Amino acid sequence: MTKTRNTGSLQYKSFGLALQAMVILARKATTCSSCEMAELLDSEATALRRILASLVRDQLLVTREGRDGGYILNKAPEDITLAEIYRALEVGESRNKAVSETICDSKFGNRMKEACDDILDEMDQSVVAVLEQHTLADLAAKTDC
């Protein structure tokens, strides 16, 4: 039996870094570079840029070029739900894929995939429902030092 890499765990780490980066941006009135954020988060700038690219793709962030370039929120922190960040990073889909990859390809495995898919979809709906109730502004206020 071959070992399967747990990609879902990586997505949760990405979600954690994304939340922290978004809080940093919510507190700043100007752009912030990935290097500056990575230093504050004790993370690698290249890994953070991959995460931020997903948030740019989903129009939660915009990038500014040039000497004072970097990332900035595309809308007010109170208008960004944590569910939007979660969806942009495709955390739920990665978790579902990671579980599906562990299930054997047989008649039994196919039935397991169907059963697990329903449960995982229900879990994801519950997670998204909770995250919809919280905004980036809420999170930033709770972490204000």
Instruction: Please report the domains of the chain, with CATH numbers, ordered by start residue.
Output: 8-142 (1.10.10.10)
Reference 72, options 108, 17, 26; nearest CA is 26
Nearest 5°: the CA angle 63, 69, 72 is 45
Contact between 15 and 89 under an 8 Å Cβ cutoff? The reply is yes
123, amino acid identity:
M
Instruction: Report residue 87 CA to chain centroid gap.
Output: 7
Is 130 within 8 Å of 85 (Cβ atoms)? no
Give residue 64's identity as a one-letter amino acid code.
R
> Nearest 5°: CA angle at 10, between 32 and 50?
35
| Phi, psi (deg, nearest 5) at residue 71 | -115, 150
Give the orientation angle of helix 7-27 with respect to helix 45-57, to 10 degrees. 80
pLDDT in tens, 85-102: 999 988 766 666 777 777
Measured between alpha carbons, how far apart are the two ends of the chain, in Å?
Answer: 49
pLDDT tens by residue, 7-30: 445 567 899 999 999 999 999 878
pLDDT of residue 5: 41
Residues of the chain with pLDDT below 50 are 1-8
Question: Residue 46 burial by CB count (10 A; 0-12/13-18/19+): exposed, middle or buried?
Answer: exposed
Residue 78 and residue 67 in contact, taking contact as beta carbons nearer than 8 Å: no
